[in-house]
Structure 1
Amino acid sequence: MVITWSAFKVKLDSQPTTLSDAIERLLLILRAEDKRTIAAMTEEDLCDLHFSLGLLIRNAWLHQADSDLLAACGTHSSDEASCRVIGTLWRALQP
Structure 2
Amino acid sequence: MGRYEIIYTEMALKNMKAIKRGDKSYISKMIDKIEFCLGEHLFDSISQCNKKKLKGKENTHRLHIQRKFTVLYTIEGEREKWVEIHKIIGYEAAHQNYSQIDL
- TM-score, scaled relative to structure 2: 0.28
Q: Higher strand proportion, which one? A: 2
Q: Higher helix proportion, which one? A: 1
Q: Which has the higher contact order (CA 8 A, sep 6+)?
A: 1
- TM-score, scaled relative to structure 1: 0.29
